[in-house]
């Protein structure tokens, strides 16, 4: 049990230490806030001491007593309260400003980290749970700061100052005052030790439920198309009810300990009253000192009770804060070297003995090929063979497990990532569309593009005609994930986006696979214009799109099986020829 108690303190100190490390540039504000806390608590004790002096004066009043002393005592006490009011105005201004700054800074810090984490992290993590981590975790961080500033800090200062004051007046009363403090700390440790697993389970439950919410909302069209609203609602209810049951269990446990802690306060106050009354009866302390002891003990015990509840809150927030630290401490799997090379690409690409795996066995095995500047190269083969993985490696979303990738004879790992990626463009099967205007979506890779540049790119992509038919033209808001656009329209917007950045390398990953014949023809016409004078990699199942490629690479089960032109591979009568026959026969789309 002793180890567990120490562990709670270590965890609390660890969390506070991590928070301080993240916000250490505010240390002067922290010191200023702490100085105000010291002043406020000292003034409060001074006011209570002055009250004791007034009572002693009134008890001892007689013919020799001067009313001037009473006047000055009251005046001094009023002066203390007025000074307190000034500091109580200034202190929140300082603390709240720090909290707001830190909260917004932390949101941006976590968001910045999420934007720069590798693709593998985002493929592992559910979008809904990531948003939950960001929102709840940062809110919990502010809760911790808030409770430290308003409760933990003032309570610790008050207990220490009160003990020193009582020792100064009568050490026996100080001991009577302090007798319940160890028991109080012990009960607080116990409740948090037992409650932590419950809090963690509640937090995990919320992440799961929010992840489900996100999935349902992102795929709402499928949910409604297959009439699965009731099923999604039922699953959500089950998750919410499970969380609620755990929360009821948690609060029952915590409030049970609150009852114990409340009784400890009652015992402590009873001891103070009994001991103080006995000493006052024997004339060992004055009535004013008795009132001072009772006043100090009452306010300190209330603060101590609040402190224990605040420790509960801080430890409750610990789970959310840890989630934020998990994000901030996540390793960036794709790491740039110092002084990475910024160079203008010519378009030469070479894979040398490349192996790659996602942690579950090799997806690519001993891949070797070379692409010359301006060449159009097609990657074809059965699904799951590794074609899209090659595209991801080209973008350096992942680093190869073994071997190397060269661009213009420079290792990909040696190139400045931002400079390198700015010279590439990719058009996927599923185009990412933002909830903004058509113009903004096309200009996403080049935000400073003029409207005439955007329109020129749209014309090349065969998108200008349908955009102009919208009531607001290029200013039309397309909805979340481009819900107002058809599949073919999204593809053409994606192609226009790629054209606008004028890439040295263009990757077309199944860009026409899910389109009807009319849309496919428009896309093929656009692609024909786009691929001129630039290195292009086409990944396709529809082999009609790769007939005119300079080179076709057939990939199966992570290995290159065949390389050649369309005509040469047909004559070879291998895998590619079989794929063509199946497609002509209608067995393969």
Q: What is the pLDDT along the chain (589 residues), one digit of tens a residue?
A: 444 444 555 666 766 777 777 777 777 777 888 888 888 888 888 888 888 888 878 777 654 556 777 788 888 888 888 888 888 888 777 778 877 787 778 878 888 887 777 777 776 766 666 776 677 777 777 777 777 777 777 878 888 888 888 888 888 888 887 888 788 777 777 777 777 778 778 877 877 787 777 777 767 766 776 677 787 888 888 888 888 888 888 878 777 777 887 888 888 888 888 888 888 888 888 888 888 888 888 777 777 777 776 676 776 677 677 777 777 777 777 777 888 888 888 888 999 999 988 877 678 899 999 999 888 898 988 888 888 888 888 888 888 889 999 998 999 889 888 888 888 888 887 788 888 898 999 988 888 889 999 998 888 888 888 889 888 899 998 887 788 888 888 888 888 888 888 888 888 887 665 555 666 676 677 677 777 778 888 887 667 678 888 899 988 888 989 888 888 888 888 888 888 887 766 544 4
Question: 354 and 319 share a domain?
Answer: no
Give the angle subtended at the CA of 284 by the CAs of 282 and 285, to the nearest 5°: 115
What are the φ/ψ torsions at residue 486 (nearest 5 degrees)? Answer: -80, 170
Asked, for residue 341, whether it belongs to a domain, the answer is no
Asked, for residue 4, whether it belongs to a domain, the answer is no
Q: What single DSSP character describes residue 342?
A: P
Among 294, 328, 362, residue at a domain's last position: 328
> In total, how many domains does the chain have?
2
Asked, for residue 504, whether it belongs to a domain, the answer is yes
Output the CA torsion sign for 499, 505, 507, 512.
positive
Question: 272 and 400 share a domain?
Answer: no
Question: 320 and 372 share a domain?
Answer: no
Among 328, 357, 391, residue at a domain's last position: 328
Look at residue 564 and give its three-state secondary structure: strand
Asked, for residue 334, whether it belongs to a domain, the answer is no
Of 490, 357, 359, residue with least CA distance to 433: 490
- For residue 516, the model assigns a pLDDT of 57
- For residue 498, the model assigns a pLDDT of 87
Query: Rounded distance, CA 482 to CA 489, Å?
Result: 9
Asked, for residue 342, whether it belongs to a domain, the answer is no
Question: 480 and 566 share a domain?
Answer: yes
- Give the number of other Cβ atoms within 10 Å of residue 219's Cβ: 15
Question: 239 and 363 share a domain?
Answer: no
Asked, for residue 322, whether it belongs to a domain, the answer is yes
- Give the number of other Cβ atoms within 10 Å of residue 488's Cβ: 21
Asked whether the beta carbons of 50 and 42 are under 8 A apart, the reply is no
Question: 132 and 165 share a domain?
Answer: yes
Q: What single DSSP character describes residue 337?
A: P
Question: 219 and 355 share a domain?
Answer: no
Output the CA torsion sign for 163, 164, 170, 175.
positive
The residues, ordered by sequence, that sit 6+ positions from 201 with a Cβ below 8 Å of its Cβ are 246
- For residue 2, the model assigns a pLDDT of 46
State the residue range of the domain holding 88. Answer: 14-328
Q: What is the CATH number of the domain that holds 398?
A: 3.40.50.300
Asked, for residue 335, whether it belongs to a domain, the answer is no
Q: What is the CATH number of the domain that holds 292?
A: 1.20.1560.10
Among 275, 294, 328, residue at a domain's last position: 328
- For residue 266, the model assigns a pLDDT of 84
Question: 76 and 153 share a domain?
Answer: yes
Concatenating the DSSP letter of every residue in 340-368 gives PBP------EEEEEEEEESSSSEEEEEEE
Asked, for residue 581, whether it belongs to a domain, the answer is yes
Question: 244 and 390 share a domain?
Answer: no
Question: 354 and 261 share a domain?
Answer: no
The residues, ordered by sequence, that sit 6+ positions from 563 with a Cβ below 8 Å of its Cβ are 369, 551, 552, 553, 554
Structure tokens at 25: 């540039």
Q: What single DSSP character describes residue 537?
A: E
Question: 380 and 521 share a domain?
Answer: yes
Look at residue 536 and give its three-state secondary structure: strand
Question: 384 and 322 share a domain?
Answer: no
């Amino acid at each position: 049990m002793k180890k567990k108690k120490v562990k709670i303190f270590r965890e609390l100190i660890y969390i506070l230490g991590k928070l301080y490390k993240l916000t250490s540039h505010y240390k002067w504000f922290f010191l200023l806030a702490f100085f105000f806390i010291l002043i406020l608590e000292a003034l409060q004790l001074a006011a209570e001491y002055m009250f004791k002096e007034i009572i002693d004066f009134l008890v001892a009043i007689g013919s020799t007593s001067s009313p001037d002393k009473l006047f000055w005592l009251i005046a001094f006490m009023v002066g203390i309260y007025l000074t307190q009011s000034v500091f109580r105005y200034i202190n929140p201004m300082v603390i709240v400003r720090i909290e707001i700054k830190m909260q917004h800074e932390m949101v941006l810090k976590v968001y910045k980290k999420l934007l720069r984490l590798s693709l593998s992290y985002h493929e592992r993590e559910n979008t809904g749970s990531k948003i939950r981590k960001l929102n709840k975790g940062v809110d919990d961080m502010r809760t911790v700061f808030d409770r430290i500033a308003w409760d933990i800090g003032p309570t610790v200062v008050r207990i220490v100052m009160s003990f020193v004051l009582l020792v100064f007046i009568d050490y026996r009363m100080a001991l009577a005052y302090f007798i319940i403090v160890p028991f109080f700390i012990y009960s607080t440790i116990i409740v948090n030790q037992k409650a932590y697993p419950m809090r963690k389970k509640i937090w995990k439950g919320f992440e799961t439920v929010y992840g489900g919410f996100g999935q349902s909302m992102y795929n709402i069209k499928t949910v409604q198309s297959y009439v699965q609203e009731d099923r999604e609602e039922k699953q959500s209810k089950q998750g919410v009810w499970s969380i609620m049951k755990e929360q009821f269990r948690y609060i029952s446990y915590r409030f049970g300990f609150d009852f114990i802690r409340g009784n400890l306060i009652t015992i402590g106050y009873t001891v103070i009253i009994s001991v103080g009354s006995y000493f006052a009866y024997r004339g060992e302390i004055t009535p004013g000192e008795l009132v001072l002891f009772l006043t100090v003990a009452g306010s300190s015990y209330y603060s101590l009770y609040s402190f224990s509840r605040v420790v509960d809150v801080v430890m409750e927030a610990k789970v959310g804060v840890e989630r934020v630290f998990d994000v901030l401490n996540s390793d960036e799997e794709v790491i740039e070297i110092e002084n990475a090379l910024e160079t203008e690409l010519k378009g030469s690409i070479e894979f040398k003995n490349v192996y790659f795996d996602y942690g579950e066995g090799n997806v690519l095995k001993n891949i070797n090929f070379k692409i010359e500047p301006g060449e159009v190269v097609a990657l074809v083969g059965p699904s799951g063979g590794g074609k899209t993985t090659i595209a991801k490696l080209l973008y350096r979303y992942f680093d190869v497990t073994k071997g190397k990738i060269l661009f213009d004879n420079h290792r990909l790992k040696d190139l400045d990532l931002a400079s390198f990626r700015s010279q590439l463009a990719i058009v996927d099967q599923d185009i990412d569309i933002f909830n903004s205007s058509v113009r903004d979506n096309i200009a996403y890779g080049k935000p400073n593009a003029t409207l005439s540049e955007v329109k020129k790119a749209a014309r090349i992509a065969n998108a200008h005609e349908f955009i102009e038919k919208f009531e607001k033209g290029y200013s039309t808001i397309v909805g979340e994930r481009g819900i107002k656009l058809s599949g073919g329209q999204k593809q053409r917007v994606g192609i226009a986006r790629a054209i606008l950045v004028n890439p040295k390398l263009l990757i077309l990953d199944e860009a026409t696979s899910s389109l009807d014949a009319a849309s496919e023809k428009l896309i093929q016409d656009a692609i024909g214009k786009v691929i001129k004078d630039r290195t292009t990699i086409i990944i396709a199942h529809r082999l009609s799109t790769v007939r005119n490629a300079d080179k076709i690479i057939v990939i199966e089960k992570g290995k290159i099986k065949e390389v050649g032109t369309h005509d040469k591979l047909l004559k070879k009568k291998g895998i590619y020829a079989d794929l063509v026959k199946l497609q002509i026969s209608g067995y393969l789309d």
